[in-house]
Amino acid sequence: MAARRPASTEASVTELVPRRVLLDTHVWLWWQKNDKRLGVRTRRLIAGSSEVRFSLASAWEMSIKEALGKLVLPRDANIALELAHSGFQELSIGLAHTEELRRLPMLHRDPFDRMLIAQSRVEGLTLVTVDAQLGAYDVQVHDATT
């Protein structure tokens, strides 16, 4: 019979820090505003990740929500400049992402979240979000409130 590892070792293995992350739209907005809803652990995760991605699906979502009056952005908001300033990388939507999106079961109806899931899966990224429902997909998720 194999020896069981001590609980402290198992906990450290399950809490490995992702190095490549994709920010959900609200997480990126919270980061930009230094919003206190973004957890301390998440701030460290984002700051310490070797690759932080921002999807064009999020930019599209923000544009639509702003046009509908559901989101207010500063008049001088410039996503490209903010990404450059923060060192985050733009993630375009490619055919591999749309093919993965087609294969996803309809567990979540938000089209922007579904694209982020597909992109996370294709690119091997951990999705940083507060939406616990996204964990129902076969994708690594980090709770942004921690």
For residue 25, pLDDT over 50 is answered with yes
Percent of the chain past pLDDT 90, that is, above it, reads: 81
Domain borders along the chain are 18-143
pLDDT-based confidence at 16, cuts 50/70/90?
Answer: low
Q: Average pLDDT, stretch 52-74?
A: 95
For residue 131, pLDDT over 70 is answered with yes
Distance of alpha carbon 2 from the chain centroid: 38
Q: Average pLDDT, stretch 4-11?
A: 35
Q: What pLDDT digit, counting tens, does each position of 83-113 carry?
A: 999 999 999 999 999 999 999 999 989 999 9
pLDDT-based confidence at 76, cuts 50/70/90?
Answer: confident
DSSP string, the chain: -PPPPPHHHHHHHHTPPPSEEEE-HHHHHHHHHT-TTS-HHHHHHHHH-SEEEEEHHHHHHHHHHHHTTS----TT--HHHHHHHHT-EEE---HHHHHHHHHS-SS---HHHHHHHHHHHHHTPEEEES-GGGGGSSS-EEETT-
Q: What integer best gives the mean pLDDT of the chain?
A: 88
Distance of alpha carbon 58 from the chain centroid: 10
For the four alpha carbons of 79, 80, 82 and 83, in that order, the dihedral sign comes to positive
Query: What is the structure's pLDDT at 77?
Result: 86
pLDDT-based confidence at 18, cuts 50/70/90?
Answer: low
Query: What is the structure's pLDDT at 45?
Result: 95
Q: Which of 27, 46, 47 is nearest to 37 (CA)?
A: 27
CATH fold of 18-143 reads Rossmann fold (3.40.50)
